[in-house]
């Protein structure tokens, strides 16, 4: 008896592709990507979706949007859902949110949403009312969706100053979480983003609670990295002193916050020591051993790649040592790297870092 096919809309298909890309952290845009995804699905679920099936679904212009239900269930399982029905419901709910702010597609498009138009035109009173509709009960997926639209709007803004937006909305909880935190822009590709991060930090009155402590580490670490890359030494040292000299946080304190800001703090100390001209071998030895243990103790693929990526990114001041550390991670954690293209070691370090990067905004840049 032939397996039943399942007719799905273009919106659901785009949403499925978006969820798969969110899971693997790279775009599905070539036959090679399809082949690698097929391998990853087999590794994670023990089930098979062929390279040609993935290609027909997402990259073949003549696709009729009628995959087998069995195929959809496997793809849904790969994204962490029980079955296609659960993933379909999530995609539909996210689509409803997109319709709320005036967008109806998952992929970038030749027209702008109402949210984007309001940001570009500086209609901040309307935006304030819009943002006030949301509170902390909004699901993580919906916060990510809203953050992506804000990111896109600010990234493409050529009409008004983003600095005004940042000053007006840096204290809005939904904007802080969905845009500043979930869709951080560590390469500062958005205009006036430096001002935005300063406004974000100005809203932190103390660093007593875990939430305010995390915000303090997150914002200052992003600024520190930005100044370091631009060779703004005085600015880098000023923030470095604030993070590492004036204050010193124990691993017990850092364990209260999410792994990304925690490892930014730990890894960027290597940059700070380099700036001061005082490399600390003892600190590196401790950090490397501590990080290996952390990777072994977590089953989260996302957290494993965050640790590896952040340390490698922090070693960009010494490309030879950076390559050596990559090789050590590659040897020690073959299962982590099995989820990447088999030729990853042949790629440039910047390409490898891109593949390892778990920052949610990397597709928006």
**Whose CA is closest to 265, among 247, 279, 277?**
247
Show me where the domains of the chain are located: 10-87, 112-184
Long-range contacts of 164-167 (CB under 8 A, 24+ apart): 164/122, 164/124, 165/119, 165/122, 165/124, 165/196, 166/192, 166/195, 166/196, 166/199, 166/200, 167/195, 167/199
Contact 219, 181 (CB under 8 A): no
The runs of H, that is alpha helices, within 276-348 are: 281-297, 301-314, 319-332, 334-337
- The CB density around residue 309, as the number of other CB atoms within 10 Å, is 23
What span, in angstroms and rounded, lies between the C-alpha atoms of 129 and 113? 17
Alpha helices in 101-203 (DSSP H): 114-121, 124-131, 140-155, 162-169, 173-175, 193-202
Q: What SS3 state is found at 68?
A: strand
State whether residue 226 is helix, strand or coil: helix
Regions in the chain scoring below 50 on pLDDT: 1
The answer to whether 181 and 218 have CB atoms below 8 angstroms apart is yes
246: enclosing H helix or E strand: none
Backbone angles phi, psi at 103, to 5 degrees: -120, 145
pTM of whole model > 0.75?
yes
Using CA atoms, how far residue 132 sits from 127, 147, 175, in Å, is 8, 15, 10
Instruction: Pick left, alpha or beta for residue 83 (phi over 0 → left; psi -120 to 50 → alpha; otherwise beta).
Output: beta
Please give the C-alpha separations between residue 164 and each of 13, 110, 124, 202, 311, in angstroms, as whole numbers: 37, 26, 9, 15, 34
The phi and psi torsions of 68 (rounded to 5 degrees) equal -70, 145
Residues forming beta bridges with residue 68, ordered by sequence position: 5
CA distance 43 to 338: 8
């Amino acid at each position: 008896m032939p397996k039943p096919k399942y007719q799905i809309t273009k919106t659901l298909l785009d949403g499925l592709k978006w969820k798969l890309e969110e899971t693997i952290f790279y775009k599905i845009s070539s036959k090679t990507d399809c082949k690698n995804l097929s391998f990853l699905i087999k590794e994670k679920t023990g089930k098979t979706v062929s390279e040609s099936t993935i290609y027909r679904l997402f990259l073949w212009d003549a696709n009729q949007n009628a995959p087998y239900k069995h195929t959809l269930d496997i793809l849904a399982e790969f994204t962490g859902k029980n079955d296609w029905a659960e993933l379909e419901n999530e995609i539909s709910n996210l689509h409803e949110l997109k319709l709320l702010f005036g967008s109806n597609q998952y992929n970038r498009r030749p027209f702008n949403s109402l949210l984007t138009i309001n940001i570009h035109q500086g209609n901040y009173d309307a935006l304030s009312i819009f943002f006030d509709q949301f509170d902390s009960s909004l699901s993580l997926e919906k916060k990510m969706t809203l953050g992506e639209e804000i990111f896109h709007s600010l990234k493409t803004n050529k009409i008004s100053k983003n600095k005004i937006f940042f000053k007006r909305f840096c204290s809005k909880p939904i904007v802080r979480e969905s845009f500043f935190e979930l869709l951080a822009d560590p390469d500062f590709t958005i205009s006036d983003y430096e001002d935005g991060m300063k406004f974000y930090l100005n809203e932190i009155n103390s660093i007593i609670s875990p939430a305010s402590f995390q915000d303090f580490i997150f914002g200052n670490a992003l600024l520190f990295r930005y100044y370091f890359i631009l060779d703004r030494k005085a600015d880098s040292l000023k923030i470095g002193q604030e993070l590492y000299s004036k204050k010193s946080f124990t691993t017990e304190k850092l364990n209260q916050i999410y792994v990304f800001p925690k490892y930014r703090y730990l890894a960027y100390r290597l940059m700070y020591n380099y700036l001061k001209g005082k490399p600390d071998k003892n600190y590196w030895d401790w950090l490397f051993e501590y990080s290996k243990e952390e990777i072994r103790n977590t089953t989260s693929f996302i957290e494993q790649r965050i640790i590896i990526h952040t340390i490698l990114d922090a070693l960009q001041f010494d490309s030879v040592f950076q390559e050596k550390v990559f090789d050590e991670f590659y040897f020690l954690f073959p299962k982590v790297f099995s989820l990447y293209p088999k030729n990853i070691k042949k790629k440039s370090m910047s390409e490898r870092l891109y593949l390892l990067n778990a920052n949610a905004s990397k597709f928006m840049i």
